[in-house]
Amino acid sequence: MTLEGIHFWPEVLNALSLKTGNPVFKQWINMTSAKYSPQNSIVTIEAPNNLVRDQLFKHVDEINEIMNQIMFCNTSIDICIKKVEDRQSKEPILVSLETQRPKVKNQSNFIPRFTFENFIVGSNNQFAYASSLSVAARPSKSYNPLFIFGHSGLGKTHLLHAIGNYVSQYSPNNKVLYINGEKFVNEYVKATQTYSHDSFRKRYREEYDIILIDDIQFIAGKSKSQEELFHTISAAQDHNKQVVMTSDKFPDEIDGLDVRLRTRFSSGLICDVKAPELETRIAIVNTRAKEANVPISQKAAVRIAELFTGSIRELEGAVTSVGAFSSFSNAEITPDFIDEIYYDKKLTIKEKNSIDVARIIKMVAGHYQINVSDIYGTDRKKELILPRHISIYIAKQLTSKPMSELARIFKRKNHSSIIHAYEKIENLRKSDPNLKKDIDYIISELKNS
């Protein structure tokens, strides 16, 4: 492997993706480059814009460690990350949200409150937000297609509607279509039944300048619909039309997805949204309370944010519910008032905080009469894999640990392994009553011991 050109850079990005548990870095091979200077042991990484540069800066220590391993020595390497001069004209020009006046009133079917202005940005979604804004400001000029993935209720649909609202206001001549994956499939099936493929293709390939497809994972396993989507994306790219998609999984993790389509998704930019950290959740609570005219103190906002740690949708629903209970009972919204409403939720959180992963692993190992070290190991024997996956499943159920932390504890490469184990056991529980009985027993023992 040579270090004189850029040939080492894909390996670095791949290693960084595995090290951080973030598959997005693997997609940056075509938009970033790096060169190593043996004279002064400096690696110069070139990024197309400030957004990518800043993301790399956050992981400069990991990159430095990976480079040291590649060099097979302890040479200290200074990593300089700078904007590529000859790509400057391609850097997204973001229209000011505060000063730009809309040319026409938004008359589309996009949800009015789902805008960039009221999207709460945190470290969990900053990259997805900036990428979406870039696409909205310069459709087909920055990232095409743009693929956003993450669990349900974390703001993916908000970003799609924000793109639609933005384009409808500031580029009214561009026609925008928002559709979900299920409707795309249903419309294709109808076109097949009525022999109207030509009108279907004209609608998706010619009539719209920007196509926003939500929950694209629904298309998995449907070969004809996947083929049609593949050609739709290809036509959009060929004619400078923008495509943005969302999914609950990274493309490589969507079972039943055609390889060509998987590659097409990866030809643009892939970014993820994660569960918000506490500070971001507090900001979401305050924003939603203001929108809904719910009088809430900062301490009460913090309490709601502490109780609801996953879905943003659930968090916003809690604000609405608290406001309604307060109105009905004519009571002030305080932390104690919130605890009274969500007593069961509070008990669940307290219970989760009292059970640690080590105790779960010990209990599972004892139940299946294997060593604790076998749970952490990599042996592929069936009698060891099942308890290992059950330990991960129960840990996800009974603790508040994020998947990245569980991946570290169980010595897995990344959080994708945790998702795979959890979903496998979840499916097995539905079909195997004996396994369900075992898991329920272990969980009961953990809660009561």
Q: Is 271 helix (H, G, I), strand (E, B) or coil?
A: strand
Residue 244 has pLDDT above 90, yes or no: yes
| Angle separating helix axes 60-71 and 9-20, nearest 10 degrees | 130
Q: Is 300 helix (H, G, I), strand (E, B) or coil?
A: helix
Choice between 95 and 170, residue whose per-residue pLDDT is larger: 170
Choice between 401 and 157, residue whose per-residue pLDDT is larger: 157
Residue 5 has pLDDT above 80, yes or no: no
Choice between 85 and 449, residue whose per-residue pLDDT is larger: 449
Confidence of residue 339 (pLDDT cuts 50, 70, 90): confident
Q: Which of 115-124, 411-420, 421-430 bottoms out in mean pLDDT, i.e. has the lowest?
A: 411-420
Write the pLDDT tens digit of every residue in 272-299. 888 888 888 888 888 888 888 888 888 8
Helices (H) and strands (E) in the chain, counts: 20, 8
Interatomic CA distance for residues 14 and 17, integer angstroms: 5
Write the pLDDT tens digit of every residue in 386-418. 999 999 998 888 877 777 778 888 887 777 778
Residue 375 tokens read as 């749970």
pLDDT for 24 equals 67
If we measure between CA atoms, which residue out of 347, 368, 291 comes closest to residue 111?
291
User: What integer is the mean pLDDT of 307-312?
Assistant: 79
Interatomic CA distance for residues 386 and 391, integer angstroms: 9
User: What integer is the mean pLDDT of 6-16?
Assistant: 70
Write the pLDDT tens digit of every residue in 18-45. 777 666 676 676 677 777 766 666 778 8
What does pLDDT average to over the chain? 79
If we measure between CA atoms, which residue out of 50, 55, 84, 69 comes closest to residue 8?
69
Confidence of residue 70 (pLDDT cuts 50, 70, 90): low
Other C-beta atoms lying within 10 Å of the C-beta of residue 263: 11
Which amino acid, 168? S
Residue 85 has pLDDT above 50, yes or no: no
Cα dihedral value 241, 242, 245, 251, nearest 10:
80
Q: Which residues contact 274 (CB under 8 A, 6 or more apart)?
A: 124, 125, 150, 154
Residue 99 has pLDDT above 50, yes or no: no
Confidence of residue 100 (pLDDT cuts 50, 70, 90): very low
Residue 346 has pLDDT above 70, yes or no: no
Residue 82 tokens read as 């700078």
If we measure between CA atoms, which residue out of 343, 353, 289 comes closest to residue 315?
289
Residue 103 has pLDDT above 50, yes or no: no
The secondary structure of 179-204 as a DSSP string is: EEHHHHHHHHHHHHHTT-HHHHHHHH
Q: Which residue has the tokens 């030809």?
A: 267
User: What integer is the mean pLDDT of 221-227?
Assistant: 90
pLDDT for 161 equals 94
Interatomic CA distance for residues 8 and 17, integer angstroms: 15
Residue 84 has pLDDT above 50, yes or no: no
pLDDT for 8 equals 67
State how far the alpha carbon of 235 is from the alpha carbons of 28, 51, 215, in Å: 23, 28, 21
pLDDT for 91 equals 39
Interatomic CA distance for residues 149 and 142, integer angstroms: 18
Confidence of residue 147 (pLDDT cuts 50, 70, 90): very high
Confidence of residue 334 (pLDDT cuts 50, 70, 90): confident
User: In order of start, what are the domains of the chain with their CATH numbers?
Assistant: 9-87 (3.30.300.180), 126-272 (3.40.50.300), 278-352 (1.10.8), 355-448 (1.10.1750.10)
